Amino acid sequence: MTYLITQTLNGLFSAALLFLIASGLTLAFGVMKIVNIAHGSFYMLGVYIAYTVILRTQSLLLGAAAAIVVVSALGFVMQRFFLRRFGNDPLAQMMMTMGFALLFRDATLMIWGGDPFTLQYPGWLRGSMEAGDVVFPYYRLFVIVVAALVGVALWAINEKTLLGARLRATVDDPEMASAMGINVTLLSGLVFAAGAGLAAFGGVMGGPILGGYAGLDFDLLPLAFVVVIVGGMGSLKGAFVGSLVVGMIDNYGKALVPELSYFTLFAPMILVLALKPTGLYGRA
């Protein structure tokens, strides 16, 4: 029982990080149909930028703010000046994001070197919660709560605000959205920037546990894609459910049959694709 609870909590922690990464990936796909290979790089850049800022200020909050601002701006520029030029060519866009991913990887190596590290976090989040035999670190609990709050905020923006309605209109029918007065180009840039910022924030949240190292970007990218494909590309709800499914499966898979960890991760994805090609909450 203790084992089950601990593993479930660990699964929730993985799901929380995955949701922060995948929600931006799925939003960008919904609005722009961009398959963004550089999305894992946004996470990685978030970790490294926060690392530099936290070294100087000792503040996780400042580190998170800097990571979000810088990476969002980077995402905006990337969309506005590069990806937008290939508006109707998903393959060209994907290749370009691949190029950016490699560029970011080498730039990170050049600026920060290849030594692994973990992010420092505030003292009040150290230590572990103990309930009976279950011991679970406060920091992981904190990340689960933060991701849940981000999820609620994203849901509220998407479903309850005019901006969210404009966003959904653009996902439904971009051409009609522009005919109804929505500047789809600007909105796309903002969504891409917000998605990049979310991934960077995910990096800061995951940084104290997973740390930063060379290759982090491409370690996380497949997981994020599995989440988005299982949940349905373009669906926020799908990213939420997909994160839970993949977080749990990945965690239990690695705990129970570590030698099959990639199988347990990709088998559900293939199953979902075979039964419902659009993903759980995707649209045709």
Partner 1 sequence: MLQITDLHTYYGESHVLQGVTLAAARGTVTAVLGRNGVGKTTLCRSIAGLTPARAGAVVFDGNDITRTPPYRIHDLGISLVPQGRRIFPSLTVQENMAIAVNTTRSQGWDLQKVFAVFPRLAERRQNRGNELSGGEQQMLAIARALVARPTFLILDEPTEGLSPMLVAEVAGVIRRLKDEGTSILLAEQNAAFAVKVADYVHVMSKGVVVHSTDPVALWQNEEVKTQLLGVPAAVSPPNTRPGT
Among 148, 169, 209, 255, binds partner 1 (CB under 8 A): 169
Least distance between partner 1 and beta carbon 28 (Å): 18
Residue 228 near residue 26, CB atoms below 8 Å: yes
By CB under 8 A, is residue 168 in contact with partner 1?
yes
Cα–Cα distance measured from residue 94 to residue 38, given in angstroms and rounded to the nearest whole number: 9
By CB under 8 A, is residue 165 in contact with partner 1?
yes
Cα–Cα distance measured from residue 12 to residue 30, given in angstroms and rounded to the nearest whole number: 25
Among 4, 99, 183, 262, binds partner 1 (CB under 8 A): 183
3-state secondary structure of 17: helix
Residue 212 near residue 44, CB atoms below 8 Å: yes
What is the distance of C-alpha 266 from the center of its chain?
Answer: 18
By CB under 8 A, is residue 175 in contact with partner 1?
yes
End-to-end CA distance of the chain: 41
Nearer to partner 1, 166 or 222 (CB): 166
By CB under 8 A, is residue 280 in contact with partner 1?
no
By CB under 8 A, is residue 156 in contact with partner 1?
no
Least distance between partner 1 and beta carbon 80 (Å): 15
By CB under 8 A, is residue 84 in contact with partner 1?
no
Helix then strand count (H, E) for the chain reads 11, 2
By CB under 8 A, is residue 157 in contact with partner 1?
no
Q: Which of residues 185-214 bind partner 1 (CB under 8 A)?
A: 185
134 pairs with which residues across the strands? Answer: 131
By CB under 8 A, is residue 89 in contact with partner 1?
no
By CB under 8 A, is residue 166 in contact with partner 1?
yes
Helix (H) or strand (E) holding 131: strand 128-131
Q: Which of these segments, 104-112, 166-174, 217-225, 257-265, binds partner 1 (CB under 8 A)?
A: 166-174
106: tokens are 């080498």
List Cβ neighbours of 98 (8 Å cut-off, separation of 6 or more): 37, 38
Q: Which of these segments, 79-87, 130-138, 161-169, 239-247, binds partner 1 (CB under 8 A)?
A: 161-169
For helices 216-231 and 236-256, the axis angle rounded to 10 degrees is: 120
By CB under 8 A, is residue 177 in contact with partner 1?
yes
DSSP class of residue 128? E
Among 184, 190, 230, 236, binds partner 1 (CB under 8 A): 184
Size of the site for partner 1 (CB under 8 A): 19
Least distance between partner 1 and beta carbon 188 (Å): 12
Kindly list the residues in this chain that would bind partner 1 in the complex (CB under 8 A). 162, 165-166, 168-169, 171-173, 175-185
